[in-house]
Structure 1
Amino acid sequence: MNKIGSLIFVLVALNLATSQVIKIPIEKRIPETETNGSFLDDDQQVAVAQLINHDQYMYSGNIEVGNSKQTYTVDFDSGSNLLWLTSKNCPSCVKDGYKHSYDCTPEDGCTLTTTPAQVTYGDGSGVKGHIAKVPVSIAGIAPVTEALLLVEQSIRNGNLQADGLMGLGVYDENNTGNVAFVNQLFKQGLITKSQFSFYLGFGKTESELTIGGVDESKLANPSEIYYHPLVLNGRTDDSQRWRVAFKSISFGNKQIPMTSQNTGIVDSGTSLAYIRNDIYKEWINYLKTITKLNPIFQGLSVFYSVKCGTTLPDLTFTLTDVNGVDRNYSLPSSFYILNQSGTCILGIQGNSVTGDLQFLLGDVFMRRFVSVFDYTSLSMGLSVSVANPASAVVTKNHRNGHLALLAIGLVALAGLIFLTLRALRK
């Protein structure tokens, strides 16, 4: 072998040695605090308030930012594109409870641009600021230059427990060439495959984000992972999402066919699963024929609870894979019935249709199926996970403790009054 050939061999070997699959532990935040209302509010209202609090029900892990490699805890979100952290000059961020802000300085490798940006979420919360460019690394590997929304205004994000959010979208239009963070790692030879995958468990600390591949130990059957082509819009910007077409939805003996325009996303930034309103109403009406559903009103939304321990029929989503084969993904009721402080609530909600994005399959769905997002083939894979509903952490209702203390106090007061009256009679 000549010297040039030897050099190429060494470089290839070095690249393979540094390429890796990165497993990042992510933690499920369990709401254990009171709601803002009175502790005498209805138990089921409190249970729903805990359930829909997106600030509590996210999965978060760590990234390193800047030349100083400061560590920040971020929520990993497959349903959005931008990475954002709060600026040190953000009064509303302090008010909303953010504890760690980022100071963008040239010494730390950060360049602040004049490009404005904002993110708005479905519950009306959001952030506003300007784009910065900064070195970002994960799990200690070499950093890549990543667009960062430096937040200057926080909107309705009270009690957010993370420092920010990292969007894991298909493209990032604020990066050079619109290349998203994970795809940048691949192009620089830092990971073996241009993909990431989520395993979401029921326990607080068992979940993980895998960058560069799939952790097969989290698959019930490693030979059964099926990929589904993305529905492409012809653009390479933030408007392109990890969107796939649905073939049908089934429950009981009923199958509702879809068209190619009936699409949805698997979204780690959404706690529940949302299905098209007309299908949701039909499903609820079907469930009412086989069990008792208790409506719980929360604002303009209606949630339903069932007796804890109830088993309901699977809700099945059918998608066509890249080989043209229909694959069924059945969600058992042990995954979609969520025990909140002893109140068991259906984790499926109706979704008002805006365009052709009609389904948002969040954590309720993702705990059943490991989800894989592939940049090279522009596809999304699904495989049954090893997550076990029996390991679920039941949220605590601290308000019940207050009620117990109140009861004890009333008993003690009654006893004191009795003793006082008895003493006066003597």
Structure 2
Amino acid sequence: MLSPLPDLNIGSASAIPQANDVEYLTPVQIGTPPQTVMLDFDTGSSDLWVFTTQTPQQQSQGHQLYNPDSSSTASQVANAEFQIQYGDGSGASGTVFRDVVTVGGVSVQDQAVEGATMVTGSFTEDQATSGLLGLAMDSINQVTDGGTTPNPQKTFFSNAMGNLAMPLFTANLKQGTTGNYNFGFVDESEFTGSVNFVAVNSSQGFWQFAASGFAVGQGAATALPHQAIADTGTTLMLMPDEAVEAYYQQIPSAQNSQQQGGVVFNCNDTIPSFTAVISGYQAVVPGDIIKFAPVTGDSTETSELCFGGIQSNSGLGFAIYGDIFLKAQFTVFDGGNMRIGFAAKSDGNF
């Protein structure tokens, strides 16, 4: 399983954290000659969209832009448009091009590149990013013909998969430092022990899997069967209320803050680990990672209050295992076998 075939594509690209690890950005080359933009790789959506020279200036100021007119391999797709809205209410819409896209040395010809003609305010404010690169299933791509008939486009990974040495990619996100996404191979130096695989249910278009329970700190595991998705594009770990309440009962100062929109606690409290039980594997998220971000100061060391990295999924039909979880695990997205694998980081290297 871990031996790539010779003479086929592999690639590796950096995943660079932004402030408080709110997102991870990866350099992507689009067009001929290549134009480099920084994109947020998102295993919870399936659209590759970018700020372009056609994005209104008041929305795109300060962003690195893709200019299709400067690419000899770019072509606009007639009648095609996209409109996407994410779970936090942000979104983008616009037109569709085809162009060559390269990630970490792996290239795809005629990749659908969606050019934003409208983005919501949070994307405008986030000047470090030039858009998203979706890595979920093709079925939830948001391209339509003329705004009515769905015309889902293949993701970068879907297009690349057949030419990769192994039909998978891996995520090794790190806390406060640069990690990586690897395509077509599994780097055994990035994890310890074995990779623990569980089947993926792709019916809703996500990297969705079954989890069986959880544990807090050194406590015994509690059975809580639930569906979950592995989502690099979500910052936090969003869990069923039963797990959230059980976790924060172990932090005396924890309180639900309407002002902050979630559970906060005293930064100098002892923060226990959280363990997700997945097909018998115990995926441990250290308390230091769950101490997500300062509320009242510049850092979790100087702030009185910290915002918790585990929050309620607000009754959503599945949990979202976002970056808080994925920072603590080496993760294999195996598209060829429709499964996902988790392993402990080498030397606790979060």
**Alignment TM class, shorter chain as reference:** 0.7 to 0.9
Aligned residue among 108, 111, 119 for 2:76: 111
CA 254–102 in structure 1, closer or farther in 2 if over 3 Å, else same: same
3-state SS in 2 of match to 1:151: strand
Letter in 2 for 1:195: L
For the aligned residues, what is the CA RMSD?
Answer: 2.7
SS at match of 1:130: strand
Of the three residues 152, 158, 167, the one matched with 1:194 is 167
- The secondary structure found in structure 2 opposite 1:247 is strand
Q: Which residue does the alignment assign to 1:273? A: 237
The amino acid of 2:335's aligned partner reads Y
What amino acid sits opposite 2:187 in the alignment? Answer: D
Deviation at 1:149, TM superposition (A): 1.5
1:151-175 residue CA offsets vs partner (Å, 9 max, x unmatched)? 1101122233111111111326569
Which residue of structure 1 lines up, in the alignment, with residue 327 of structure 2? 367
| One-letter amino acid matched to 2:207 | W
- Cα deviation per residue 1:285-317 (whole Å; 9 max; x = unaligned)? x225xx333554435x23312242x43333221
2:250 maps to 287
TM-aligned CA distance change 1:232 to 1:121, over 3 Å = closer
**Residues 302 and 317 of structure 1: is their aligned pair in 2 closer, same or farther, counting only changes over 3 Å?**
same
Amino acid at match of 2:270: T
Q: State the structure with more CA Rg.
A: 1
Question: Is residue 211 from structure 1 mapped to residue 183 from structure 2 by the alignment?
Answer: yes
Mapped to 2, the partners of 1:85 and 1:179 lie a distance apart of 16
Q: Pick from 264, 283, 306 the counterpart of residue 228 of structure 2.
A: 264
Count matched residues.
327
1:107 Cα offset (Å)? 3.5
Letter in 2 for 1:21: I
CA offset at residue 119 of structure 1? 1.7
Q: Structure 1 residue 100 and structure 2 residue 64: aligned?
A: yes
What does residue 160 of structure 2 align with?
A: 185
SS at match of 1:338: strand
1:305-324 superposed matches below 5 A: 305-308=265-268, 310-320=269-279
Distance (whole Å) between structure 2 residues aligned to residue 327 and residue 83 of structure 1: 33
Determine whether 1:383 maps to 2:343: yes
**Matching residue within 291, 310, 319 for 1:337:** 291
| 1:100 Cα deviation after fit | 2.5
The residue aligned with 2:126 is 159
What residue is the counterpart of 1:227 in the other structure? Answer: 197
State how far apart, in whole Å, the 2-side matches of 1:363 and 1:213 are: 21
d(CA) in 2 for partners of 1:89, 1:151 = 7
Alpha-carbon distance in 2 for matches of 1:201, 1:208: 8
Quote the offset at 1:387 in angstroms.
7.2
- Correspondence 1:298 to 2:263: no
Per-residue deviation, residues 22-53 of structure 1 (Å, max 9, x unmatched): 111221112xxxxxxxxxxxxxxxxxxxx6xx
Gaps (5+ residues) in structure 2?
A: 145-150
Distance of 1:97 and 1:246 partners within structure 2:
43
Distance change in 2, residues 1:96/1:185 (3 Å): closer
Question: Residue 298 of structure 1: SS of its match in structure 2?
Answer: coil
Would you say the 8 A contact 1:66–1:135 is kept in 2?
Answer: yes
Distance (Å, rounded) in 1 between the aligned partners of 2:310 and 2:107: 40
Name the stretch that deviates more: 108-117 or 162-171. 108-117
Kindly state the Cα deviation for residue 339 of structure 1 after the two structures are TM-superposed.
5.3
| Equivalent residue in structure 2 for 1:66, among 3, 21, 31 | 31
Name the aligned partner's letter for residue 277 of structure 1: D
Equivalent residue in structure 2 for 1:245, among 210, 216, 240: 210
- Structure 1 unaligned segments of length 5 or more: list them: 1-14, 31-50, 234-238, 321-325, 392-426
Please identify which structure carries the higher helix content.
Answer: 1
CA distance in 2, matches of 1:348, 1:122: 16
How far has the Cα of 1:226 moved from its partner? 0.7
| Partners of 2:228 and 2:61 in 1: CA distance | 33
